[in-house]
């Protein structure tokens, strides 16, 4: 990645890296031994690389904010709690989008990135922008990698 791209990425992510609510994601396990925080950062980095490599000209703020907050739901989905997390796969994208809106006042385009990242499991919620497609695909790649190689 070019140095100016690396700098742009770090500039956009730096606010999240020091935010108390975002840092709460470090308490939760996503896959294997990877925290939700690290998972989100991995998805953000890969999304940004895909955008640059393929010259997709995504909006970097929408792409990186959406990726960094795509799993911003703040609970442990592995812990049984009487069933309310059982539908985690289907519900968490909406929960994360609402939380991101509440905490950061994200715009509609960024909200859409988060809300559609679980396609095709959420079959009716199809990514509707380049940024949303990139995050949706980067999440699948990173999740597979974390599940297979990091346990």
Span interacting with Fe ion, options 21-29, 52-60, 71-79, 108-116, rule CB under 5 A = 71-79
Beta 34-35 vs 29-31: how paired, if at all?
antiparallel
Q: Assess 38 for contact with Fe ion (CB under 5 A).
A: no
Question: Which residue's entry shows tokens 């904010």?
Answer: 65
**Of 52 and 125, which has the nearer Cβ to Fe ion?**
125
**Smaller CB separation from Fe ion, 4 or 124:** 124
Nearest-5° Cα angle at 120, 116 to 123: 80
Minimum Å gap between C-beta 105 and Fe ion is 21
Which residues pair with residue 29 across a beta bridge? 35
Q: Which is nearer to Fe ion, 12 or 46 (CB)?
A: 46
The helix or strand, by DSSP H or E, that contains position 39, with its residue range, turns out to be: helix 36-53
Among 17-25, 53-61, 69-77, 105-113, the segment contacting Fe ion (CB under 5 A): 69-77
139 forms part of the interface with Fe ion (CB under 5 A): yes
Helix segments in 84-125, DSSP class H = 88-104, 108-115
Instruction: Name which of 3 and 123 has its Cβ closer to Fe ion.
Output: 123
Q: Are 40 and 71 spatial neighbours (Cβ–Cβ below 8 Å)? A: yes
> From CA 12, how far away is CA 140, in angstroms rounded?
23
Question: Of 38, 41, 51, 71, which lies in the binding site for Fe ion, with binding defined by CB under 5 A?
Answer: 71
Nearest distance from residue 104's CB to Fe ion, in Å? 17
41 near Fe ion, judged by CB under 5 A? no
Q: For the chain, what is the radius of gyration of the CA atoms?
A: 14
Q: Contact residues for Fe ion (CB under 5 A)?
A: 71, 139
């Amino acid at each position: 990645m070019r140095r100016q791209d690396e700098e742009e990425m770090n500039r956009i992510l730096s606010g999240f890296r020091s935010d108390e609510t975002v840092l709460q994601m470090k308490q939760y396990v996503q896959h294997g031994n990877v925290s939700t925080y690290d998972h989100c950062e991995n998805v953000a980095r890969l999304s940004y690389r895909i955008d640059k490599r393929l010259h997709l000209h995504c909006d970097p703020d929408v792409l990186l904010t959406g990726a960094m907050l795509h799993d911003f739901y703040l609970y442990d989905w592995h812990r049984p709690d009487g069933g309310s997390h059982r539908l985690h796969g289907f519900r968490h994208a909406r929960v994360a989008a609402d939380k991101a809106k509440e905490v950061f006042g994200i715009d509609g385009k960024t909200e859409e990135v988060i809300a559609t990242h679980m396609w095709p499991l959420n079959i009716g919620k199809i990514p509707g922008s380049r940024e949303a497609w990139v995050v949706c695909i980067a999440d699948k790649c990173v999740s597979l990698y974390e599940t297979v190689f990091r346990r």
